[in-house]
Amino acid sequence: MKLDDYQGASEDLDKAHVLKPNHAYTLSVCGGVKTKLNDYQGALEDLDKVDVLEPNNAFTLCGCGNLKRMLHDYQGGLNDLNKVHV
């Protein structure tokens, strides 16, 4: 396995998700891997689930804000980032 095997990591994380569904940390890492695979919408969906499980987590809100920016949802991204400063 090479260190930047994001597709392999995604497959492993899918298996972890089956074993422990709705685990915030696993979903957060999935979001990061999907971002590396340019699956921004999938990454945002994972981080949105994390935000439900752990509301107002600064790391998650920053990730969501950045992903929304990448998806050209500038207002949504700004809204998420503003929650971090409250």
Condensed to tens digits (0 to 9), the pLDDT of residues 17-62 reads: 889 889 999 999 999 999 999 999 999 999 999 999 999 899 999 9
Whole-angstrom distance, CA of residue 53 vs CA of residue 56: 10
What pLDDT is attached to residue 55? 92
For residue 42, give Cα distances in angstroms to 33, 65, 86: 10, 14, 27
pTM of the full structure: 0.85
- Backbone φ and ψ of 78, nearest 5°: -65, -40
